[in-house]
Structure 1
Amino acid sequence: MPRAAVIVNPTKVPDLELHRTEVTAELAKHGWAEPLWLETTVEDGGHGLARRAVDEQVDLVFACGGDGTVRAVIHGLVGSGVPVAVLSVGTGNLLAQNLALGTSLAEGIATGVTGRTRVVDLGVIDGEMFAVMAGIGLDAAMLESTTEKSKSRFGALAYVAGALSRLRDRPIRVTLRLDDGPPFTRRARMVLVGNVGRVQGGLQLFPAAEPDDGRLDVLVLAPYGLRDWLGVAVRLLTRSPREDRRIERFTARTIRMDTTRPMPRQYDGDLIESGVTTRIMVAPKALLIRVPADAAR
Structure 2
Amino acid sequence: MSDLDRHRAEVTAELAIYGWDEPLWLETTAEDPGVGMTKQAVAEGADLVFASGGDGTVRACAEGLMGTGVPLAILPIGTGNLLVRNLKLPQALPDAVRAGVEGETRPIDVGVIDGRPFVVMAGIGLDASMAHSTSDDVKRKIGWPAYIGGLVKHLRDRPFQVTLCLDGRTTLRRRAMMVLIGNVGQVQGGLRLLPDAKPDDGHLDILILAPRTPMDWLRVVGHVVTRSKRYDRRAERYTAARARIDIDPPVLHECDGDPIGYCSTTSISIETEPKALLLRTPRGTDG
TM-score w.r.t. the length of structure 2 is 0.96
Q: Which amino acid counterpart does residue 269 of structure 2 have in structure 1?
A: R
The structural deviation recorded for 1:183 is 2.1
Task: Identify the residue that residue 193 of structure 1 maps to in structure 2.
Answer: 181
DSSP-derived class of the 1:37 partner: coil
The structural deviation recorded for 1:157 is 0.8
Task: Identify the residue that residue 271 of structure 2 maps to in structure 1.
Answer: 281
Q: Distance in 2 between matches of 1:154 and 1:124?
A: 30
Q: Distance in 1 between matches of 2:192 and 2:244?
A: 23
Aligned length: 284
The structural deviation recorded for 1:82 is 0.6
Deviation readout 1:235-263 (Å, 9 max, x if unpaired): 21121112211111110011111111111
Task: Identify the residue that residue 165 of structure 1 maps to in structure 2.
Answer: 153
Residues 123 and 254, structure 2, Cα contact 8 Å, conserved in 1: yes
Task: Identify the residue that residue 296 of structure 1 maps to in structure 2.
Answer: 286
Task: Identify the residue that residue 87 of structure 2 maps to in structure 1.
Answer: 99
Match of 2:169 among 181, 184, 187: 181
Residues 124-143 of structure 1 aligned to structure 2 (within 5 Å): 124-143=112-131
Q: Distance in 2 between matches of 1:29 and 1:126?
A: 42
Q: Does 1:267 align with 2:255?
A: yes
Q: Distance in 2 between matches of 1:180 and 1:296?
A: 32
Task: Identify the residue that residue 26 of structure 1 maps to in structure 2.
Answer: 14
Q: Which amino acid counterpart does residue 237 of structure 1 have in structure 2?
A: V
Deviation readout 1:48-101 (Å, 9 max, x if unpaired): 100111112122100011111110011001121110001111111111111111
DSSP-derived class of the 2:78 partner: coil
Task: Identify the residue that residue 250 of structure 1 maps to in structure 2.
Answer: 238
Residue range with higher mean Cα deviation, 201-210 or 116-125 = 201-210
Q: Distance in 2 between matches of 1:271 and 1:165?
A: 16
Task: Identify the residue that residue 138 of structure 2 maps to in structure 1.
Answer: 150
Q: Distance in 2 between matches of 1:43 and 1:180?
A: 36
The structural deviation recorded for 1:273 is 3.1
DSSP-derived class of the 1:68 partner: helix
The structural deviation recorded for 1:225 is 2.0
5+ residue gaps, structure 1: 1-13
TM-score w.r.t. the length of structure 1 is 0.93
5+ residue gaps, structure 2: none
DSSP-derived class of the 2:62 partner: helix
Q: Does 1:123 align with 2:131?
A: no
Q: Does 1:215 align with 2:203?
A: yes
Match of 2:30 among 42, 48, 61: 42
Please report the RMSD computed on the Cα atoms of aligned residues, expressed in angstroms: 1.2
Match of 2:56 among 59, 68, 80: 68
Q: Distance in 2 between matches of 1:183 and 1:240?
A: 23
The structural deviation recorded for 1:154 is 1.8
Residue range with higher mean Cα deviation, 222-231 or 189-198 = 222-231
Q: Does 1:227 align with 2:215?
A: yes
Give 4+ residue runs of structure 1 displaced > 4 Å after superposition: none
Q: Distance in 2 between matches of 1:101 and 1:38?
A: 23
Q: Which amino acid counterpart does residue 196 of structure 2 have in structure 1?
A: A
Residues 109 and 201, structure 2, Cα contact 8 Å, conserved in 1: yes
Q: Which amino acid counterpart does residue 143 of structure 1 have in structure 2?
A: A
DSSP-derived class of the 1:101 partner: coil
Q: Does 1:80 align with 2:76?
A: no
Residues 183 and 204, structure 2, Cα contact 8 Å, conserved in 1: yes
Q: Which protein has greater RCO, CA pairs closer than 8 Å, 6+ apart?
A: 2
Identical columns (%): 55
Q: Distance in 2 between matches of 1:60 and 1:280?
A: 28
Residues 167 and 243, structure 2, Cα contact 8 Å, conserved in 1: yes
DSSP-derived class of the 1:183 partner: strand
